[in-house]
Structure 1
Amino acid sequence: MHTNAKLLGYLGLLPFITIPLLIMTDQLFYFEGFEFFVQYSAIILSFFGGIHWLDALQNRRKNHQLYMAMLPSIVAWLSLIFLSGDTLLSVLSITYIGVLMYDKYVLALERDILIPYTQLRMILTTVVVVTHLFMAYL
């Protein structure tokens, strides 16, 4: 996997890590930080449907994958509108895990891309879910 892709993936974790730390150190009010955190989480979650959109179009699939490409965005948006607190954090976390599992079993990428991509996604998703748990703890 391209080094820049890994770097950008890891840099994408910064808000997930820094927002809870800013709340812990009283640099950011909890409710304001919570809003920033879940909004960022929803945006990043929406991003993960894109690879399925590309895979479905590139491989001319007419199955569920093209529709599933939209699911992270819809879940993220509806969660922000209708949920709050720990329920919102839980739904976002579960969706991250679900999308990762779907990636692992559905993506038809070349092996030299799929394996590093899945490994990177495992690391990123683990950190994201742990930070969601930490926000629930705060």
Structure 2
Amino acid sequence: MPRTAILLGYAGLIPFVGLPVLALTGQLHYFQAYTYFVQYSAIILSFFGGMHYLDAIQNRRSNHQLYVSMLPSIVGWTSLVFLDGYLLLSVLSIAYIGMLMYDKYVLALEKDILLPYTFMRTMLTTIVVISHLFMASI
């Protein structure tokens, strides 16, 4: 996997880790930090659908993958519109875990890319879910 992709993946954690810390230390009001956090979370969740959209098109799949590729965006947006508090954080966390599991079993990447990608996604998703729990506990 390209080093840049790995660095960008881990750099994407900065808001997930930084916003709860800013709220906890009082440098950012909790409501602002929470709002920015869930908005960022929904946007990043949507990104994972794009992986499956591209995979389905490149590999000429007309199965469920193309439809599932739209779910992260729909779940992220409807969650932002209709949910709040712990429920919103919980739904987003579960969606991240669900996308990770779906990635592991459906993405048709070459082995030399799939294994490092899956490892990185597991690490990133673990930190993202812990960050959601941390935001909920503040």
Q: TM-score, normalised by structure 2?
A: 0.99
Deviation at 1:38, TM superposition (A): 0.2
Aligned residues: 138
Residue of structure 2 in register with 1:4 after alignment: 4
Deviation at 1:121, TM superposition (A): 0.2
Alignment of 1:38-117 (within 5 A): 38-117=38-117
Deviation at 1:32, TM superposition (A): 0.9
Q: Distance in 1 between matches of 2:73 and 2:112?
A: 28
Residue of structure 1 in register with 2:118 after alignment: 118
Deviation at 1:5, TM superposition (A): 0.3
Deviation at 1:54, TM superposition (A): 0.8
The letter for the 2-side match of 1:123 is M
Q: Distance in 2 between matches of 1:123 and 1:15?
A: 16
Residue of structure 2 in register with 1:35 after alignment: 35
Deviation at 1:47, TM superposition (A): 0.3
SS in 1 for 2:60: coil
Q: Distance in 1 between matches of 2:63 and 2:128?
A: 29
- Cα deviation code 1:41-66 (max 9, x no counterpart): 00000000111011100110010000
Q: Distance in 2 between matches of 1:128 and 1:122?
A: 10
Listed as ranges, the gaps of 5+ residues in structure 1 are none
Q: Distance in 2 between matches of 1:24 and 1:108?
A: 41
- Cα deviation code 1:66-115 (max 9, x no counterpart): 01111000000000000000000000000000000000001111111111
Q: What percent identity do the matched residue pairs reach? A: 68
SS in 2 for 1:26: coil
Deviation at 1:126, TM superposition (A): 0.3
Q: TM-score, normalised by structure 1?
A: 0.99
Residue of structure 1 in register with 2:22 after alignment: 22
